[in-house]
Amino acid sequence: MKLFFGVVVFVSALFAEPIDEFVKSLEQEVQKKQSSFQGFSVQRGEQIFTTEHIGKKGKKISCVSCHTSDFTQKGEHFFTGKAIEPLSRKTNPEAMTDVRNVQKWLRRNFKDVYNRLGTPKEQGDVLVYMLSKAR
Ligand code: HEC
């Protein structure tokens, strides 16, 4: 059993995706400041993703305003109307795979919706929510 467990840990470490490594690094960052931290939460992430807020342009928006709540569908940019690729790998195999791209858009999109950057905890929460729907 011990050996089996060891093999599973080894194999999953071998196949951990870069995006999972990124989530892990955020987790370590939060833990440094908050030793009681219990890990990221899909529920908190969903709230961050779906809650409306007066955004950058003075309009009430949420992440859903551009991405929709169905991750398998294309989104539509709230301000420009441009199509946005789906966030689910079921319809977009590249979704949520490129860490740099994810970081870039988290930065921009938190500002769009919340007028500020997301904290490491908020970023981790929203990422575990998005990843739970992306794969
Ligand atoms: C004003 C429109 C808009 C809003 C609001 C918005 N996004 Fe985005 N988001 C985009 C666009 C455009 C892209 C780039 C998509 C593309 O390349 O087709 C993107 C991409 C992303 C990506 C990268 C996806 C990937 O597959 O790499 C993440 C992560 C993301 N957004 C998170 C969020 C979060 C979290 C929120 C809410 C805080 C949010 N977005 C709100 C427009 C928006």
For the entire predicted model, the pTM comes to 0.92
Percent of all residues in the chain with a pLDDT value above 70, rounded to a whole number: 90
Q: Alpha-carbon distance 63 to 112, whole Å?
A: 9
Residue 56 · residue 36 · CB < 8 Å:
no
The reply to whether CATH 1.10.760.10 applies to domain 17-134 is yes
pLDDT grade for 7, boundaries at 50, 70 and 90: low
Give the per-residue pLDDT at 8: 61
Per residue in 96-110, pLDDT (tens digit) is 999 999 999 999 999
Q: What angle do CA 96, 112, 133 make, to 5 degrees?
A: 30
Structure tokens at 86: 């789906």
Q: Which atom of ligand 1 is nearest to the CA of 118?
A: 38
70 CB neighbour count, 10 Å cutoff? 14
User: Ligand 1, residues 19, 56, 66, 123: which to mutate, most atoms within 8 A of Cβ?
Assistant: 66
**Residue 8 alpha carbon to ligand 1 centre in Å:** 33
Structural domain boundaries of the chain?
17-134
Residue 61 main-chain phi, psi, to 5 deg: -140, 165
Among residues 67, 99, 97, the alpha carbon closest in space to that of 83 is found at: 67
Tell me the mean pLDDT in the region 52-56: 96
Tell me the mean pLDDT in the region 14-21: 89
Closest residue by CA, ligand 1 atom 15: 84
